[in-house]
Amino acid sequence: MKRTSTLLILGILVVLGVGVYTGYSFWKKSSSEEDLKRVESTLTEYQNKLLQFESDEILEAINAKRTLDDLESDMIQWSKVIKTIRKTVPTDDGLTIVEILSYSGSSSNDINMNVKTYPDRDEPYFDVADLIEGFEESSAFVGSFVPSISGGTDEDGKEILTFLFGTTYVEADPLALLENDAEEEVEDEESEAVLR
């Protein structure tokens, strides 16, 4: 009997050991599954954050590109405006009738120029009128005006007028600009010789 009870106790201990091991295995498995679920949810959360970040970066880049495109479309090419001004100033015997001392412009296409007449001109007031008329006849400018004229003389006693000249630049048709580019290059070379 003693042998039976030792075997019985040993059997019970083995059953208990197997039960404890099985319980431990189930607990470890469920703990591992919970850890795996937690890791997967954290991974999904980080992937979503990464997608949101990339999406925000793409939107920011698109908005920056749009802003840049808007700025470029609103940009005035002042070099072309000045070339147009120089071509619009009336000439007499191939020489300009007035000298433009300075230019200033704004984003609304308003242009102001500080201008003076040459001392060798007989009728400087008519030169001012011819300048206004030349700009008004041009399709590139509107609203040309002279708010005031100051008169003076040079060292030889000849009359010189200085005045502020205002006008508004009107954007030209882009196709017309392309057609006139070749003509402008030839005219620019010629006009450099006639400017005083």
pLDDT the model gives residue 114:
92
Q: Which of 75, 98, 130 is the last residue of a domain?
A: 75
Cα 125 from Cα 165, distance rounded (Å): 13
- Domain identity same for 27 and 95: no
Q: Which of 23, 45, 75 is the last residue of a domain?
A: 75
pLDDT the model gives residue 172:
59
Cα 34 from Cα 26, distance rounded (Å): 12
Q: What percent of the chain has pLDDT over 90?
A: 6
Q: Which of 42, 84, 111, 117 is nearest to 191 (CA)?
A: 84
pLDDT the model gives residue 80:
83
pLDDT the model gives residue 23:
86
Domain, as residue range, for 95: 78-194
Dump pLDDT digits (tens) for 43-78. 899 999 988 988 888 888 888 888 877 766 656 677
Q: What is the mean pLDDT of residues 156-160?
A: 86
- Domain identity same for 110 and 151: yes
- Domain identity same for 10 and 39: yes
**Cα Rg, the chain, nearest whole Å:** 43
Structure tokens at 151: 């008169």
Cα 85 from Cα 185, distance rounded (Å): 15
Buried-exposed string 53-63: b where 16+ CB fall within 10 A, e elsewhere: eeeeeeeeeee
- Domain identity same for 83 and 168: yes
- What integer best gives the mean pLDDT of the chain? 80
Which amino acid is it at 72?
E
- Domain identity same for 95 and 125: yes
What does residue 187 show for φ and ψ, rounded to 5 degrees?
A: -65, -35
- Domain identity same for 101 and 174: yes
- Domain identity same for 48 and 104: no
- Domain identity same for 71 and 82: no
pLDDT at 104 over 50: yes
- Domain identity same for 93 and 13: no
Cα 85 from Cα 180, distance rounded (Å): 15
pLDDT at 149 over 60: yes
pLDDT at 26 over 80: yes
Q: What percent of the chain has pLDDT over 70?
A: 82
Q: Which of 56, 75, 94 is the last residue of a domain?
A: 75
- Domain identity same for 9 and 96: no
pLDDT the model gives residue 185:
54
Q: What is the mean pLDDT of residues 17-37?
A: 84
- Domain identity same for 104 and 177: yes
Q: What is the mean pLDDT of residues 171-183?
A: 52
Q: Could you give the angle at the alpha carbon of 161 between the alpha carbons of 134 and 159, nearest 5°?
A: 120
- Domain identity same for 56 and 91: no
What is the count of structural domains for the chain?
2
* CATH number assigned to the domain comprising residue 177: 3.30.1360
SS3 for the chain, per residue?
CHHHHHHHHHHHHHHHHHHHHHHHHHHHHHHHHHHHHHHHHHHHHHHHHHHHHHHHHHHHHHHHHHHHHHHHHHCCCHHHHHHHHHHHCCEECCEECEEEEEEEECCCCEEEEEEEECCCCCCHHHHHHHHHHHHHHCCCEEEEECCCEEEEECCCCCEEEEEEEEEEECCCCHHHHHHHHHHHHHHHHHHHHHCC
